[in-house]
Amino acid sequence: MSWQEQVRKCAEEQDWGTAMQIVEHEIARSPQDMDVREWRARVLLWSGRLADAEHEYREILTAAPKDADNWMGLASVYAREGRAGEAMAALDRALALDPKRADIHAARGRALRAAHNPGQARLEFQRAQDLDPADDEARTGLRSLQSEPKHTLRLGTDTDLFSFTQPNNDQGTSIASQWTPCWRTTIAGRFYRWAGKDAEKFSASVTGKLPRLGALEVGGTTANDNGVIPRDEAFLDYDQGWKLGPHGWVRGLETVYGQHWYWYSTARILTMNEMGIFYLPRDWTWSLGLIEARSHFTGTGTEWRPSGVTRMGFPIAGNDAGRRLGGSLFFAVGTEDFAQVGQIGRFSSQTYGGGLRFQMTARQDVTGVAAYQRRTQDRNETSFGFTYGIRF
């Protein structure tokens, strides 16, 4: 194995100490060999010693200013240090020395994309692909500049089967629009058939998000309730997340606090909910939520009742084409759903359920969920539903 192959192997294993020892040994043997000095600069860059890498590349370029590879290496150092202007200037020098190299055009495309100049970045990636149709970086760069979808349309249906009354069916549609990185709106309609009665509900919400301050969503609903669903609703949710690093059992944490008001023809309900979502290794998630519900029925007093839910999400399969299959399991105790009249009142319950989500393409997915609920008075409910989502 050549010394260059040994250095690459050490780099793959991130054994920077051994890699540097090999390079320093070769420099001692041939102190004027610029190729060995270039390897030293690369190892310094790969290991994150950016100031030393910059110094090394500058010395090399003083001795050999017409080597495009070294100008690209210096540009990589500047890019890692956040010095976008100097990185672009170094890439311009490399391009002037060898204007027909696809990798230089691709590197300029990445720099322009990072500088929020998508038009020029697209031209550079296209030039790279024209020069080398097999260039994966150019192809990936062009894909990364495709317009991100702003809207998500979802269609869904749910069925509830009861041991003590007729089935309940409902269908719904919603569209969420991400107008800017900070603002999103959601509108939705849902249609119910419950205990032989029909009802319809329309909802709308707006979400504002600021870096480091989290996201706040406010919204409400109005309905032709027919005594089945709330006549009106109002809600707000505050969401905040933190990245905790790539190592350890918890990679990230998200907290959600919300309040929801339901106005029925015979009852008023306020719920306050707190949810914590833990992001675990290998794309697993675990969430734990608590709900405190304040119920007031016509002609009776006010009562507070707690409930809770826990959920585990996990990946099942995936491939390089972007298809993903994921699953989830959840368990809830208490009266955790107040959106239908059949879920309010003085009863206790335990709900067991799970779901599957299949990401067919980057813009389409389908989700299925099923649950079984045991209630007091020897009653039970079996629920299942499906949703289809498309982004455009």
Q: By the 8 A CB rule, do 383 and 371 touch?
A: yes
- Residue 354: which domain range? 151-391
pLDDT the model gives residue 7: 87
Residues 351-379: tens digit of each pLDDT: 999 999 999 988 999 999 999 999 888 89
Does residue 288 sit in the same domain as residue 263?
yes
Secondary structure string (H, E, C) spanning 243-311 = ECCCCCCCCEEEEEEEEEEEECCCEEEEEEEEEEEEECHHHCEEEEEEEEEEEEECCCCEEEEEEEEEE
Residues 219-262: tens digit of each pLDDT: 999 999 998 899 999 999 999 999 887 778 999 999 999 999 99
164 SS3 class: coil
- pLDDT classification of 285: cutoffs 50, 70, 90: very high
**Torsion sign over Cα 384, 289, 205, 210:** negative
Does residue 351 sit in the same domain as residue 304?
yes
What phi and psi, each to the nearest 5 degrees, are found at residue 92? -65, -40
Looking at every residue in the chain, the average pLDDT score rounds to 90
pLDDT the model gives residue 173: 98
Which of the pair, 48 or 313, is modelled with greater confidence? 313
Bridge partners, 352 (sequence order): 331, 372
CATH of the domain at 91: 1.25.40.10
Does residue 350 sit in the same domain as residue 206?
yes
Q: What percent of the chain has pLDDT over 70?
A: 95
Q: By the 8 A CB rule, do 382 and 145 touch?
A: no
Does residue 80 sit in the same domain as residue 177?
no
* Residues whose CB falls within 8 Å of the CB of residue 240, separated by 6 or more in sequence, listed in order: 213, 214, 215, 254, 255
Bridge partners, 7 (sequence order): none
**Count of domains forming the chain:** 2
Domain boundary among 107, 128, 144: 144
Q: Based on the number of CB atoms within 10 Å of its own CB, is 302 exposed (0-12), middle (13-18) or buried (19 or more)?
A: exposed
Domain boundary among 124, 144, 164: 144
